[in-house]
Amino acid sequence: MHIVVAIEDTFASWRETALKALAQHVAPEVIDWRIAGGENNHVDSHTLFDGDAVASFASTAPAEVRISRDLAELLKDAALYRDTTRWAFLYRVLWRWHGGDRAVASPADADGARLYKMAKAVRRAKHDMIAYVRFRLRDASDAEPAPDLPEYVAWYEPEHDVLAWSAEHFARRMGRSTWLISTPDGAAWWDGNALRLERRSTRSTRSGDHVSPTADEAEALWLAYYRSTFNPARLNETALEQHMPVRFWKGLPEGRLIPSMISEAKSGAQRVAQASGVGVLGGKSVPVDAQSAQPARQQPSTLDACRRCELWRHATQAVDGIGPADARIMLIGEQPGDQEDLAGKPFVGPAGRLLDIAIERAGLSRDDLYLTNAVKHFKWMLRGKRRQHKTAAQQEIDACGYWLERELDRVKPAVVVTLGATALGALLHEKISLSDYIDRTLDVGGMQVIATWHPSYALRQQHDDGRERLLAAIAAALTRARELADALRKRQHASH
Ligand code: URA
């Protein structure tokens, strides 16, 4: 038996049909998913063909499927991945989950890994679109005023089907300004009140009338700014391309500047700290010693773009620290675990739950604390179907120290509690033996550092009393951190 099912090319349409197909126990192997109105399609939405016999889901009640929030997010993101087999694939995932096969939601499973990869690519495409769309003021020299035309226009080629998602993002942020984003396969138009999405390559707002992006004053300013911040002495083409991949250049006003600036810099014409455009502004040209102008290594601009070591390759995402920007106490763990890697947040798994108990016992709340890790990517090895934690190498800890330093600089905590040896080693920039430091308070660059056990170590204890002893020690370290932070604050107030 072979069944053709036609849906609209949207998550909602797929979901509705998939739940009905599940209710009818239609196995993934027998369904041929097609897009209604798409090429080679002569079927209507929600209509089944079984050979030549037409069957309809119209009277079928959808199956009740309970899925985790994480899986729901993964499915929604993966649904935006450009791949004609995605609806069939997503149905297979749902079918397996519905049949009780939870492994399908694990990156250690072949389908799970594909699902994560798709979702990750889509999340990156969302991020890229928000970062690289540049609106230009529409040509104001139109013969007649046209209030129905958008004020701003942008052209962009998203890697995946993220136009609708990004359009909502821009609609929330651009107030009542009207705009249009055109892409090769659709357009989004915000009229100041409502968002309209069209699936086609270019949108004409009046018949025969195309909106063409033109340069404006803001763009000229932006170009001048971009040129002035471009430092040929620091040229690192790879890093530049990583930060602003070549495929985005054509959508950006500054994109057309980049190739010429690179070749200018390569020709060695400029060995000054600023590009030639700034020279004509009448400012001072500062000769720079080539040696000191060349940084040892170009730094990544965002944690997500970090390639300082190889751990990013196998992690779902980088996990940044979380908490108030002015927290008095910072907790540093080792590295994200399996659940943190999937959620993108530190300490949300079993170790985090034990840590929560210690935090509560210490009279603190997560809301008071900045929580982070020495290493920001999950390092793991496959054990059966499980991704088992693997301790980071010193080189990886050192590479990630760049991000920890930035967090310490930004938050400036009065007290730091290190959980386990890796965190303390990262702060002290050396491999240490934790038992030499346990329960001691150190002064590290003006910060009070309290070393304690890692909650995972407590979880690994065979006996309850061993676990309780370590939990009590962690709670005691946190209590001391709270008291110390309070005492330091009082001292600070008294001296003012
Ligand atoms: N273990 C850690 O060290 N950090 C986390 O975020 C989770 C588990």
d(CA 369, CA 358): 13
Q: Does any ligand 1 atom lie closer than 6 A to the CB of residue 337? A: yes
Ligand 1 atom with minimal separation from the 339 CA: 7
Q: What pLDDT, on a 0 to 100 scale, did the predictor assign at position 241? A: 56
Q: Which residue did the predictor score with more confidence, 493 or 40? A: 493
Q: What pLDDT, on a 0 to 100 scale, did the predictor assign at position 276? A: 34
Q: What pLDDT, on a 0 to 100 scale, did the predictor assign at position 132? A: 81
Q: Which residue did the predictor score with more confidence, 38 or 170? A: 170
Its pTM surpasses 0.85: no
Q: Which of 17-26, 215-224, 236-245, 251-260 has the highest mean pLDDT?
A: 17-26
Give me ligand 1 centre to Cα 308, in Å.
20
Give me ligand 1 centre to Cα 243, in Å.
28
Ligand 1 atom with minimal separation from the 374 CA: 3
d(CA 76, CA 31): 20
Averaged pLDDT of the chain: 80
Give me ligand 1 centre to Cα 318, in Å.
13
Q: What are the strands, taking DSSP E only, across 36-84?
A: 47-50, 53-56
pLDDT category at 142 given cuts 50, 70, 90 is very low
Give me ligand 1 centre to Cα 32, in Å.
43
Q: What pLDDT, on a 0 to 100 scale, did the predictor assign at position 472? A: 97
HSE on the CB side for 423, CA within 13 Å?
25
Question: Within the chain, what is the greatest distance between any pair of CA atoms?
Answer: 87
154 has pLDDT over 80: yes
> pLDDT for 194-239, tens place per residue?
888 887 533 333 333 333 333 344 444 445 444 544 455 555 555 5
Tell me the CA distances in angstroms from 132 to 156, 166, 391, one per residue in order.
Answer: 8, 11, 36
Q: Does any ligand 1 atom lie closer than 6 A to the CB of residue 341? A: no
d(CA 301, CA 226): 16
Q: Which residue did the predictor score with more confidence, 244 or 202? A: 244
d(CA 426, CA 448): 15
As a whole number, mean pLDDT of residues 33-43 equals: 65
* DSSP for residue 287: B
d(CA 299, CA 400): 12
Q: Which residue did the predictor score with more confidence, 262 or 320? A: 320
d(CA 344, CA 367): 18
Quick one: which of 28, 426, 229 has its CA closest to 434? 426
Structure tokens at 341: 């890697």
What angle (nearest 5°) sits at the alpha carbon of residue 126, between those of residues 121 and 129? 120
Q: What pLDDT, on a 0 to 100 scale, did the predictor assign at position 214? A: 39
For residues 186 and 198, the answer to whether their CB atoms sit within 8 Å is yes
Structure tokens at 448: 């009070």
Q: What pLDDT, on a 0 to 100 scale, did the predictor assign at position 138? A: 64
Ligand 1 atom with minimal separation from the 371 CA: 6
Q: Which residues contact 413 (CB under 8 A, 6 or more apart)?
A: 327, 328, 329, 330, 370, 447
Ligand 1 atom with minimal separation from the 333 CA: 3
286 has pLDDT over 50: no
Q: Which residues contact 68 (CB under 8 A, 6 or more apart)?
A: 105
351 has pLDDT over 50: yes
Q: Which residues contact 473 (CB under 8 A, 6 or more apart)?
A: 438, 439, 452, 453
Give me ligand 1 centre to Cα 109, in Å.
23
Q: Does any ligand 1 atom lie closer than 6 A to the CB of residue 455? A: no
Q: Does any ligand 1 atom lie closer than 6 A to the CB of residue 335? A: yes
Collapsed DSSP state (helix, strand, coil) of residue 490: helix
Q: Does any ligand 1 atom lie closer than 6 A to the CB of residue 189? A: no
Percent of the chain with pLDDT over 70: 73
Ligand 1 atom with minimal separation from the 454 CA: 3
Quote the distance between the C-alpha of residue 371 and its chain's center: 18
Q: Which residue did the predictor score with more confidence, 153 or 175? A: 153
- Low-confidence winner among 41-50, 401-410, 473-482 (lowest mean pLDDT): 41-50
Percent of the chain with pLDDT over 90: 49
Q: Does any ligand 1 atom lie closer than 6 A to the CB of residue 334? A: yes
For residues 270 and 231, the answer to whether their CB atoms sit within 8 Å is no
Q: What pLDDT, on a 0 to 100 scale, did the predictor assign at position 428? A: 92
Q: What pLDDT, on a 0 to 100 scale, did the predictor assign at position 287? A: 40
Quick one: which of 450, 481, 490 has its CA closest to 329? 481
Ligand 1 atom with minimal separation from the 423 CA: 3
d(CA 426, CA 405): 10
Q: What pLDDT, on a 0 to 100 scale, did the predictor assign at position 146? A: 54
Quote the distance between the C-alpha of residue 258 and its chain's center: 26
Q: Torsions phi, psi of 417, nearest 5?
A: -110, 120
Q: What pLDDT, on a 0 to 100 scale, did the predictor assign at position 199? A: 75
For residues 98 and 26, the answer to whether their CB atoms sit within 8 Å is no
What secondary structure does DSSP assign to 360-421, as a single string? HHTT--GGGEEEEESS-S--EEEETTEEEE-PPPHHHHHHHHHHHHHHHHHH--SEEEEESH
Give me ligand 1 centre to Cα 372, in Å.
8
Q: Torsions phi, psi of 153, nearest 5?
A: -135, 155
Give me ligand 1 centre to Cα 433, in Å.
19
Q: Does any ligand 1 atom lie closer than 6 A to the CB of residue 346? A: yes
Q: What pLDDT, on a 0 to 100 scale, did the predictor assign at position 322? A: 97
Structure tokens at 337: 């675990």
Give me ligand 1 centre to Cα 352, in Å.
7
d(CA 441, CA 433): 15
